Amino acid sequence: MLHFKKYQANGNDFLILESYYPSEAEAIKLCDRHKGIGADGVLVIEVNNELPRMSIYNSDGSSSTMCGNGSLCAFRFLHQKGVFELRKERQLKIGNHQIQGLVEESCIEICLAKADFTPKNVPFKT
């Protein structure tokens, strides 16, 4: 049995799994809106003694290094789980990035790094 939560932020919905890393095929099946649960992606949250960590799987099974709306969902999840307190800045680790954020009663603020659009850093094939 797979335990999950489902959150949405700004029109994107995500399945949140705790410390369970799906395979590419599992992520695709979970995100399928007709045969699975349906979602734009899967977020894996791991809480340990260090910073909470998030891994991101897109609906096509690929992994991602950043997701703003997913980060908002992760902050809300971590608050509801009792890991993040209200009105206290906290951090979430995603790959090599650390996102700083603040959970309020009715909103969440996160600070994302400035986007880097230099051609060598944009994964695009012509």
Residue 46's SS3 state is strand
Inter-residue contact 51 to 90 (CB < 8 Å):
no
Domain ranges within the chain, ordered by starting residue: 5-121
In terms of phi and psi (left: phi > 0; alpha: psi -120 to 50; beta: otherwise), the region of 106 is: alpha
Count of C-beta atoms within a 10 Å radius of residue 61: 17
Of 21, 67, 19, the C-alpha closest to 40 is 67
- What is residue 57's predicted lDDT score, i.e. its pLDDT? 97
Spatial separation of the C-alpha atoms in residues 71 and 73, rounded to whole Å: 5
- What is residue 126's predicted lDDT score, i.e. its pLDDT? 67
β-pairing, 41-46 with 12-18? parallel
Sequence letter at residue 104:
E
In CATH, what is the architecture of 5-121? Roll (3.10)
Per-residue pLDDT of the chain (126 residues), as tens digits, is 899 999 999 999 999 999 999 999 999 999 999 999 999 999 999 998 789 999 999 999 999 989 999 999 999 999 999 999 999 999 999 988 899 999 998 899 999 878 778 888 777 776
Spatial separation of the C-alpha atoms in residues 37 and 6, rounded to whole Å: 9
Q: Which structure tokens are listed for 118?
A: 């230099």
Q: What is the DSSP letter of 70?
A: H
